[in-house]
Structure 1
Amino acid sequence: MIQQQDELLEPHLDKLGASNKQVFGHPAALFVLFFTEMWERFSYYGMRALLTVFLISEITKGGWGWSNAEAMSLYGWYTSLVYATPLIGGMIADKLTGFKKAILIGALLMTLGHASMALEGFDANFFYIGLGLMILGNGMFKPNISSMVGQLYPDKSSKKDAGYTIFYMGINAGAFLGSLLCGYLGEKIGWHYGFGLAGVFMFFGMLQFYFGQKIFGVIGDKPKTKEELAAKKQTLDEEEVVPKNVVRDRLFVVAVLMIASIFFFLAFEQAGGSLSIFAKDFTQRVLEGSTATTFKWVDAILTIFPIVVVTYVLLSLAKKLFKEYPLTIIFTLISFASIAVLGLWKVQREFTSLETEVTVSWFQILNAFFIVMFASAFSKLWEKVWNPSGPIKFALGLFLVGFSFVVVAYGAMDIPAGAAAGAVRVSMIWLVLAYFFQTMGELCLSPVGLSYVSKLSPKKLLGLIFGFWFLASAISNKIAGVMGGMIDSISEKYSLSTFFMIIAIMPMVVALILVLMNPMLKKKMHGIN
């Protein structure tokens, strides 16, 4: 079966005029998208790692001195709008610009947004302008690059889920490096350095995509004349023979998975909110003696190893594409060499520092690090060992993210109700374990969700439906912000442990519901597995 799918991949790419060169058994074009998305996620997660901490930090430390509730309100609005605008961006790409141009417009807007945020020290309005540009840019970028990944594979290819998982590794390589370096610069050197650094690499991502566009063939092209649209539809004509009741049933499954994803992400997105507050106010981050030395070595490995892994992927891509797309490879090499230099500088600076204080943003690199470490293992698991239905994968993801908050709740049991910030500090191990289980849950749900939206949706509405997928994330992010803003009131009246248990219960209940619905949902997918 897998061999048959492999044989279908090259003719599929030829039909679309895309490069049929392969890297690690997948289209080389996938890895161009991999690096473009990596730099976009670098910019987003680099800024997200700083946002809440910057807002609640004392004015004397360069922050704005906001309350937890105020910071969580802005955080919730920002992250929800970031995921709401892809609905509009998907429609614009479908009807007007095409995926490629939409991605370039989005990348430019986000680059300008980061440049504006870097000027927040001169005028606070630059900060808000930057957030607005980031929101608009993400709306044009996010749904359209995900749509292009799906179109690289035949719908029934067993490699499609694996391809999305590899793409998701690129997402999280960027998230890791952005949280690590932007967070470090922001907290240790100056907030505007962290905000500005993210924009530099978004610019590099835009350039490497711009010079590599031909590798995609007609995938992502702007709709033109009726004749050209008719020719394009003929290359993707599977949709024409699908009966209307099958389309309806498949969209019902997409809708159920979207609703389930809301309960996953309302817990998962506490990372930039209530978990950051927990890390800042109640986690022991000042280390001494052998513990400090151990942390420095662990941090060095966490910094260097992912850089080595992604460098290997980049060099493998360069071997295949350098002759045809030299500028794409050159800009990617320059940007990644810069990242390597920054990473080594950070490691050297920490080893020569007399005090070891773990930054709040450091904990957010754990999710991305675990993704980079385990994404390929999950890819092989789904491809060769155990490949359950989408609803079961979703249920497993929901259970694991819920369990991660059970872990944090257990770690917070010794913090009394109403405890002031810094009055009690618990071990870092609870947050490390929580991010591990969240990551395992994310690998079960998020890349699989992208793949199922691509496989189950009508081609002519693909950008729009990806927009709805991200709209569900917008809803969950707003709910996450509202719930995170309740951390003070609930922990004062009950306890911090109770607050985290409330978050844990909701996704675990939805996981059980999905298991019960699985037979019916499998039937409504009509052969899409």
Structure 2
Amino acid sequence: MNTDILFKDKVLGHPAGLFVLFFTEMWERFSYYGMRALLVLFLISSITDGGFGWEKAEALSLYGTYTMGVYLTPVFGGLIADKLLGYRWAVILGALIMTLGHAAMAVETPLFLYIGLGCLMVGNGLFKPNMTSIISNMYRNHEGKKDGAYSIFYMGVNAGAFLGIMLCGYIGENYSWSLGFGLAGIFMFLGMLQFYFTQNIFGDIGLSPKKKEELSLEVIGKDGDQDFVDKANEEENTPKNIVIDRLIAVVIFSLFTVFFWAAFEQAGGSMTIFAEEYTQRNLSGGYGTLFKYIDALLTILPLGIISYVLYVLFKKTFAKYALGNIILSASFIVIWGIVIWKVNRDFSKESVEVPATWFGILNSLFIITLAPAFSKWWESKYNISGPMKFGLGLLLLGIGFGFLAMGSGDIITGEPIIKVSMFWLIAAYLFHTMGELCISPVSLSYISKLVPAKWIGFMFGVYYLFIAMGNKLAGTIGSYIEEIEKAYSISAFFLIFTIVPVVAGLIIASLSPVMKKLMHGVK
């Protein structure tokens, strides 16, 4: 298929299909991050408060195992899609399995907890690598726009995370853990329906290998379709040593993502505990009123921006894909209803206790705010190389943890708990987000550029395998938070995550000349 056809109907400078993926991924991330925000807090909450009453080490260890599984299963999901299902049906089946997983978790018994987490791991494995594979194929002949496309897609990822953490976290902490987990499942199901009824917008991208082979025999020779054949021949004729070098570059990038995610994923574990136990979250008087207005603004403004993107997509695609658009619009009507209820409820209270999960939305909020600027940077003449982006991202991540190490310096183990200012967490999330924008969407873009098209799904899966390692390390190291705090201090715990990313960032930045050679002209 000549992918230039997909660029005829543009939304904000990109194919309309990118924004179908944007909203599908948004609802999947809504469900994932909504559940993730609640998991550790639910497990460590006392039985009288509706939780399981687990020890922190147990909860953080399970959290690490779960997040590892979420990124481990895409290795198999990418392979299954490449060889059997095709990207589209893998996405649909994965979304359905994840919906069942959220439903199981809403039951709130140990058995259904493990069943639910298992479903979420398996479903995510089918869903996650194949969404990015569809984008890779859409931009096959538009390599220069890939970095920007992945940054926009990543904005959708974080829009979903923002809404999921805010709403599932709020309902879970204030009303019922079960309702919080259940809400995540509802929007996962709606996201699946929206994708299913709009999938033809991708042409033949993402069809099963057998179906695509049948179509390719029909379209070869038609005007413009030779581009696809030429591209495939070009990849087939690329010298093996260049292919091997580029794959080595992908592995090196992936190795350094382990350092990044091992630190970054403290957000769902130790940083959530820090927010719950060590951060001053009770606000009254003028500070309480100010927070209400800020929180309302932070809630409504991003949702308004995302709703505008929906409106633009609606205008472009409603005529052909009415049902998918109606489902998507209905989802937003429900979201707006919940948001208005939440804001009204908060303003009816005299004082405010900021939910511990609230801080998690900062990462998503900063992504939504900063992603367009970073996207423009990567497309400008001031763009920097991939290794330098990785180095910068790890450095910024380390600085973020430096704020936490500094802010927790006065906390002394064994004495009455000292509550510290929210500033330290806010500053940490800001720098972590800037680091994430330098690494996560850029990684997806570079893999799509460096890997031959026939291996795309599998190599995205391999990349997620390295992220799985980082996530398990995050949970494992995080589970020692109490031991390190007792032996040294909570500040020393966060200092570990300050030093290691900075050192790793300096190493990858110094490897920039070697990486450029391995990449053989890919920028």
TM-score of the superposition, structure 1-length normalised? Answer: 0.95
> CA–CA distance in 1 between the matches of 2:461 and 2:63?
21
Residue in structure 2 matched with residue 98 of structure 1 by the alignment: 86
Q: Deviations over 1:237-269 (max 9, x none)?
A: 131121111101111110110001110111100
1:70-109 maps to which residues of 2 (within 5 A)? Answer: 70-109=58-97
Residue in structure 2 matched with residue 510 of structure 1 by the alignment: 504
Alpha carbons of structure 1 residues 205 and 157: separation in structure 2 relative to 1, 3 Å: same
> CA–CA distance in 2 between the matches of 1:208 and 1:87?
25
State the shift of 1:155 in Å.
5.4
Q: Deviations over 1:407-455 (max 9, x none)?
A: 10000000013456xx111011100000000000001110000000111
State the shift of 1:234 in Å.
2.7
State the shift of 1:301 in Å.
0.7
Residue in structure 2 matched with residue 219 of structure 1 by the alignment: 205
Match of 2:229, as an amino acid? Q
1:484 pairs with 478, 490, 495, which one? 478
Residue in structure 2 matched with residue 263 of structure 1 by the alignment: 259
> CA–CA distance in 2 between the matches of 1:23 and 1:502?
44
Paired residues of 1:19 and 1:29 also in contact (CA < 8 A):
no
Residue in structure 1 matched with residue 54 of structure 2 by the alignment: 66
2:462 pairs with 1:468: yes
Paired residues of 2:4 and 2:141 also in contact (CA < 8 A):
no
User: What secondary structure sits across from 2:73 in the alignment?
Assistant: helix
Residue in structure 2 matched with residue 401 of structure 1 by the alignment: 397
Alpha carbons of structure 1 residues 330 and 486: separation in structure 2 relative to 1, 3 Å: same
> CA–CA distance in 2 between the matches of 1:156 and 1:311?
27
> CA–CA distance in 1 between the matches of 2:146 and 2:475?
33
Residue in structure 2 matched with residue 306 of structure 1 by the alignment: 302
1:25 pairs with 13, 30, 50, which one? 13
What is the aligned-residue identity percentage? Answer: 55
State the shift of 1:151 in Å.
1.2
Q: Deviations over 1:291-311 (max 9, x none)?
A: 111111111011101110100
> CA–CA distance in 2 between the matches of 1:116 and 1:104?
19
Residue in structure 1 matched with residue 334 of structure 2 by the alignment: 338
1:376-391 maps to which residues of 2 (within 5 A)? Answer: 376-391=372-387
Residue in structure 1 matched with residue 43 of structure 2 by the alignment: 55
Residue in structure 1 matched with residue 148 of structure 2 by the alignment: 162
Paired residues of 2:194 and 2:328 also in contact (CA < 8 A):
yes
2:141 pairs with 1:189: no
Residue in structure 2 matched with residue 144 of structure 1 by the alignment: 130
Alpha carbons of structure 1 residues 383 and 400: separation in structure 2 relative to 1, 3 Å: same
Alpha carbons of structure 1 residues 236 and 103: separation in structure 2 relative to 1, 3 Å: farther
2:194 pairs with 1:203: no
State the shift of 1:527 in Å.
1.3
Paired residues of 2:143 and 2:449 also in contact (CA < 8 A):
no
> CA–CA distance in 1 between the matches of 2:430 and 2:46?
30
1:257-296 maps to which residues of 2 (within 5 A)? Answer: 257-296=253-292
Alpha carbons of structure 1 residues 191 and 227: separation in structure 2 relative to 1, 3 Å: closer
> CA–CA distance in 2 between the matches of 1:380 and 1:94?
32
1:130 pairs with 113, 116, 123, which one? 116
Q: Deviations over 1:314-348 (max 9, x none)?
A: 10111110101111111111101111111111111
1:341-352 maps to which residues of 2 (within 5 A)? Answer: 341-352=337-348
2:314 pairs with 318, 338, 361, which one? 318
State the shift of 1:156 in Å.
5.7
Match of 1:291, as an amino acid? Y
Match of 1:228, as an amino acid? E
> CA–CA distance in 2 between the matches of 1:491 and 1:227?
59
State the shift of 1:13 in Å.
3.3
Q: Deviations over 1:326-379 (max 9, x none)?
A: 111111111011111111111111110233111111000000000011111111
> CA–CA distance in 1 between the matches of 2:143 and 2:452?
17
Residue in structure 1 matched with residue 224 of structure 2 by the alignment: none
> CA–CA distance in 2 between the matches of 1:173 and 1:130?
24
State the shift of 1:124 in Å.
2.9
> CA–CA distance in 2 between the matches of 1:449 and 1:510?
16
Paired residues of 2:147 and 2:445 also in contact (CA < 8 A):
yes
Residue in structure 1 matched with residue 4 of structure 2 by the alignment: 13
1:244 pairs with 215, 240, 247, which one? 240
User: What secondary structure sits across from 2:119 in the alignment?
Assistant: helix
Alpha carbons of structure 1 residues 225 and 296: separation in structure 2 relative to 1, 3 Å: closer
2:425 pairs with 1:434: no
Query: How large is the RMSD of aligned CA atoms in angstroms?
Result: 1.5
> CA–CA distance in 1 between the matches of 2:277 and 2:32?
24
> CA–CA distance in 1 between the matches of 2:230 and 2:270?
48
> CA–CA distance in 2 between the matches of 1:57 and 1:227?
53
Match of 1:12, as an amino acid? T
State the shift of 1:235 in Å.
6.4
> CA–CA distance in 2 between the matches of 1:106 and 1:48?
18
User: What secondary structure sits across from 2:280 in the alignment?
Assistant: coil
User: What secondary structure sits across from 1:354 in the alignment?
Assistant: coil
2:28 pairs with 1:40: yes
State the shift of 1:157 in Å.
2.4
> CA–CA distance in 2 between the matches of 1:412 and 1:296?
26
TM-score of the superposition, structure 2-length normalised? Answer: 0.96
2:449 pairs with 1:455: yes
Q: Deviations over 1:200-246 (max 9, x none)?
A: 11111001100111110111010117953875973641311211111
1:108-119 maps to which residues of 2 (within 5 A)? Answer: 108-119=96-107
| Range 442-451 or range 234-243, more displaced | 234-243
State the shift of 1:518 in Å.
0.1
Residue in structure 2 matched with residue 363 of structure 1 by the alignment: 359
> CA–CA distance in 1 between the matches of 2:54 and 2:349?
30
> CA–CA distance in 1 between the matches of 2:18 and 2:171?
31
> CA–CA distance in 2 between the matches of 1:235 and 1:115?
47
Alpha carbons of structure 1 residues 227 and 404: separation in structure 2 relative to 1, 3 Å: closer
State the shift of 1:460 in Å.
0.9
> CA–CA distance in 2 between the matches of 1:255 and 1:155?
24
Residue in structure 1 matched with residue 418 of structure 2 by the alignment: 424
State the shift of 1:191 in Å.
0.3
Alpha carbons of structure 1 residues 227 and 40: separation in structure 2 relative to 1, 3 Å: closer
> CA–CA distance in 2 between the matches of 1:491 and 1:229?
61
Alpha carbons of structure 1 residues 186 and 227: separation in structure 2 relative to 1, 3 Å: closer
User: What secondary structure sits across from 1:416 in the alignment?
Assistant: coil
- In the alignment, structure 2 segments of 5+ residues that lack a partner are 221-227
Match of 1:369, as an amino acid? L
Aligned residues: 513
Alpha carbons of structure 1 residues 261 and 229: separation in structure 2 relative to 1, 3 Å: farther
Alpha carbons of structure 1 residues 229 and 92: separation in structure 2 relative to 1, 3 Å: farther
